[in-house]
Amino acid sequence: MYKILFPEANNDYIKTAAAELKERGICEPILEESDMVTAGQKVANGLADAMVAGVDFSSRDVILACRDQVGVAGQTDPSEKKTFSSLFVADFPDSRRYIISDGATCKNPTAEQLADIVILVHAAALKLLDDMPRIAMLSFSTFGSGGKDPSMDKIAEAIKIVRERNPDILVDGEMQLDAAVNERIGKKKSPHDSEVAGRANVLITPDINSGNILYKSLEQFAGAKLAGPILLGFNKPVSDLSRGSTAEDIVFTTECLAKLI
């Protein structure tokens, strides 16, 4: 059974969630009360397979501990720039599941960073989805309907980079949200026979503003159950919980995180 570190052991929601996780055999919770630097070091040293934090600590504290202690995956030189990202898992009452990125880490990604995000999220989605990941690059525009705009050019360049680096990834765009998830609208708005439009289960937003608003809207207005943010691109899986998380949220997030170990 995987060991998952919870460095906010005095939080009542953490205590309740940890007890349920242990009872259900999802993980072996390690409850400690420590600062994020110490917690990150313990994960890096192999005392835990993953970490769930952030219900009391700020996102900045959690992300810096991941960057400086857990380490960025594939980074051999601290001065080397590597993209790290995050995702949310959204489960709806009708059993639909969507993955959303990035609403927590990369504020205004370049085309290269957007491509990195797609590749990071695709690898995680293979473990989190029962179906093949179909990735939509979201925008205010669908396949050029919005005219000319630098944000659309950036998305087009990101898709080009992804297809060059990994042609097996199903990614398309730019497209509006309805064209991404509604099959009738996707068919109407797509000028080509897109394998993604209308059937997307992974939604990539153009910046952190739109990503954060989207995931919170799904939670607050649409009744979706959300897991995350789950951080991507580090040496070990880590979740940076929303400070509004309940015990139920923490259990669901840890369930999803455990699939990435």
| Domain extent at residue 250 | 1-75+233-261
Residues 115 and 150 in one domain: yes
Query: Helix, strand, coil shares of the chain as percentages rounded to 5?
Result: 40, 20, 40
Residues 217 and 239 in one domain: no
Residues 214 and 89 in one domain: yes
Residues 162 and 191 in one domain: yes
Residues 89 and 133 in one domain: yes
Indicate the SS3 state at residue 228: strand
Instruction: Indicate the pLDDT class of residue 256, thresholds 50, 70 and 90.
Output: very high
CA-nearest of 185, 174, 171, 177 to 149 is: 174
Q: What's the pLDDT score for residue 191? A: 84
* Average pLDDT over all residues of the chain: 94
Residues 88 and 214 in one domain: yes
- Parallel/antiparallel/unpaired status of strands 225-232 and 85-91: antiparallel
Q: In degrees rounded to 5, what are phi and psi of residue 154?
A: -65, -45
Are 70 and 42 in contact by the 8 Å Cβ rule? The answer is no
pLDDT above 70 (res 78):
no
CATH of the domain at 131: 3.40.50.10750
pLDDT in tens, 126-150: 999 999 999 999 999 999 998 999 9
pLDDT in tens, 207-224: 999 999 999 999 899 989
**High-pLDDT (> 90) share of the chain, %:** 88
H or E element that contains 147 = none
pLDDT in tens, 139-197: 999 999 989 999 999 999 999 999 999 999 999 999 999 999 999 999 999 988 899 99
Across the range 87-111, mean pLDDT stands at: 94
**C-alpha span between 10 and 102 (Å, rounded):** 30
CA-nearest of 36, 3, 2, 8 to 250 is: 8
CATH of the domain at 247: 3.40.50.10950
Residues 216 and 241 in one domain: no
Look at the chain and report how many structural domains it folds into. 2
Residues 71 and 101 in one domain: no
pLDDT in tens, 9-62: 999 999 999 999 999 999 999 999 999 999 999 999 999 999 999 999 999 999
Residues 178 and 244 in one domain: no
Q: What's the pLDDT score for residue 259? A: 96
